[in-house]
Amino acid sequence: MTGRIKLATYLCVSFVACGGFASAQQQLIGAPPEASNMRLVGANDLQARSAYQPTIHHQGDRWIAYIGHHGGTDAVPDPVNPLTGKAEPNGTSVVDVTDPANPRYLRHIPGQEGKYEGGGAQMVRVCDGKTLPKGDRNAVYMLRTFGNEAHEIWNVADPANPVLITRLGGLKDTHKSWWECDTGIAFLVSGAPDWRTRRMTQVYDLSDPAHPIKIRDFGLPGQEPGSTGAVPTEVHGPISTGPQGNRVYFGYGTDKGGLLQIVDRDKLISGPKEPTPDNLRYPEISRLAMSAFNGAHTTFPMLKMPIAEFARDKDGQARDIVMIVDEAILNECGEPRQMVWFADVTVESRPMMISSYTVPEASGSFCERGGRFGSHSSNESMAPVYYKKMAFIAFFNAGVRALDIRDPYHPAEVGYFIPSITASTDKRCVTVDGKDRCKVAIQTNNVETDDRGYIYIVDRANTGLHILELTGDARKAAGLP
């Protein structure tokens, strides 16, 4: 073989091999899931509805998953509910996951008519009536958004036959709320008509869900009615540590201009309520401004974490950590990488980023697979089974990633699971030369865990719910038998 022919052959083989590799990264119907140290236990297609927040609640001797949905798609605005035979706008799926290998779909509660983020009922939180100070002891209350225009509370004591209790309407852009089950205090993310930001926080006393009491409106100075000048980044969601911790961690921004705000909960609830700049600043302890490239979708506190490396230090052996998760919003890597950050907030006046995590793009050619690649959210359960040991991150087309966070200065991936696509998995498109170019890929949007250690992931591209468990080294790292 002459030199020229050798070179030509090499170039041809390289070209074909590269092309073959790229196409191998495209998900195919019927192909097995991609996994490491995580195993599929059970699944449900959630009636092929685009899924957002799952909350898993231990209800008597049953485990019930409540799963919020975005609105429908252009192709199927209102999917048919096989249980009723009717087309219903996406809302909330209620699934009995007591036997995780055989989840049973119990009920679909329709949401607001509308497509994509313009409809549905994305968020869900659940509290027992016996835990809430003034609740009906026999009730189980589900707080959900109703599209963008309201918050609703349902009694789901009989999860197959939920009953609407309360509706807080007249809002816009309702989103990721937090509800303290032991006090009833709720931090409801909404857009109030007179505020200058799309989303702010309305603090409510929902200790008696049938009779909500508004406490105050809250946001960043510059967002309040009547202000002028630059408008700070909108809130995405708060997480409270309750009266014991007396802190609320607010995440602002989704994929840009992120901000972690640490707030004194007692001052927030009991302080002056008129939304003046001074009153809005009063409960704030500090802020951690992120790069303009990244947002703060989820701000998950893990306080007093013992750090093995610091065990023999005379001070600072335990640290207060907040895990900050950005949200990727553009398909096919159309923006700076959205990922996971760990902040040490032990010295609250000087919070500091200490580490970060992302999925290596090249490990799956994720920028070419289609849809979003990057983080979206983490599990928010504080049950002992995983709290301060393991975190699970929804990473869109890279599935769910299991992180060993026992040393938050050095988080390490110990497992992952990327579900198979199905005939229900919806396409995701980018515009190239004025035309849509579409691909089909998993879009793992949210993840939650239950007290038993099962991991629940849901798909934004209509593939449904997958229930997982850890195996191998990941299971050992979590301390599970």
Using the rule CB under 8 A, is 226 a contact of other proteins? no
CA atoms within 13 A on the CB side of 123: 28
According to DSSP, residue 305 is labeled E
Using the rule CB under 8 A, is 435 a contact of other proteins? yes
Query: Residue 428: in which H helix or E strand, if any?
Result: strand 427-432
**Nearer to other proteins (CB atom), residue 199 or residue 369:** 199
Give the burial string for 135-152 (b: 16+ CB within 10 Å, else e): bbeebbbbbbbbbbbbbb
Q: Are 167 and 91 in contact (CB under 8 A)?
A: no
Give the burial string for 331-360 (b: 16+ CB within 10 Å, else e): bbbebbbbbbbbbbbbeeeebeebbebbbe
C-alpha 457/C-alpha 471 separation (Å) is 16
Residue at token pair 């607001």: 112
Q: Are 184 and 112 in contact (CB under 8 A)?
A: no
Query: Which listed range, 52-60, 194-202, 308-316, 460-468, lies at the site for other proteins (CB under 8 A)?
Result: 194-202
Query: Residue 34: in which H helix or E strand, if any?
Result: strand 34-36
Torsion of CA 254, 257, 262, 268, to 10 degrees: -80
Using the rule CB under 8 A, is 120 a contact of other proteins? no
Longest dimension (CA), the chain: 87
C-alpha 44/C-alpha 24 separation (Å) is 26
Query: Which listed range, 135-143, 260-268, 326-334, 374-382, lies at the site for other proteins (CB under 8 A)?
Result: 326-334
**Nearer to other proteins (CB atom), residue 332 or residue 380:** 332
C-alpha 75/C-alpha 69 separation (Å) is 16
Least distance to other proteins from the beta carbon of 440, Å?
Answer: 20
Q: For the residues of 308-332, what is the DSSP string, one character each?
A: GGGTTSSS-SEEEEEEEE----SBT
Show the site string, 35-64: x = touches other proteins by CB under 8 A, - = not: ------------------------------
Least distance to other proteins from the beta carbon of 8, Å?
Answer: 8
Among 35, 42, 116, 242, binds other proteins (CB under 8 A): 116
Q: Are 70 and 460 in contact (CB under 8 A)?
A: yes
Least distance to other proteins from the beta carbon of 190, Å?
Answer: 15
Query: Around Cβ 476, how many Cβ atoms within 10 Å?
Result: 14
Among 34, 45, 113, 117, binds other proteins (CB under 8 A): 117
Residue among 336, 357, 345, 460 nearest 402 (CA): 357
Using the rule CB under 8 A, is 32 a contact of other proteins? no
Using the rule CB under 8 A, is 277 a contact of other proteins? no
Using the rule CB under 8 A, is 9 a contact of other proteins? no
Least distance to other proteins from the beta carbon of 73, Å?
Answer: 12
Q: Are 107 and 161 in contact (CB under 8 A)?
A: yes
Using the rule CB under 8 A, is 353 a contact of other proteins? no
Using the rule CB under 8 A, is 19 a contact of other proteins? no
Least distance to other proteins from the beta carbon of 439, Å?
Answer: 16
Using the rule CB under 8 A, is 382 a contact of other proteins? no
**Nearer to other proteins (CB atom), residue 7 or residue 28:** 7
Query: Which listed range, 200-208, 224-232, 383-391, 420-428, lies at the site for other proteins (CB under 8 A)?
Result: 224-232
Among 108, 196, 319, 466, binds other proteins (CB under 8 A): 196
Using the rule CB under 8 A, is 292 a contact of other proteins? yes
Using the rule CB under 8 A, is 431 a contact of other proteins? yes
Least distance to other proteins from the beta carbon of 223, Å?
Answer: 9
Among 110, 159, 212, 257, binds other proteins (CB under 8 A): 257
Among 308, 311, 362, 432, binds other proteins (CB under 8 A): 432
**Nearer to other proteins (CB atom), residue 227 or residue 424:** 227
> Given the rule CB under 8 A, which residues bind other proteins?
3-4, 7, 114-118, 196-198, 228-231, 255-257, 292-293, 329-330, 334-335, 430-435
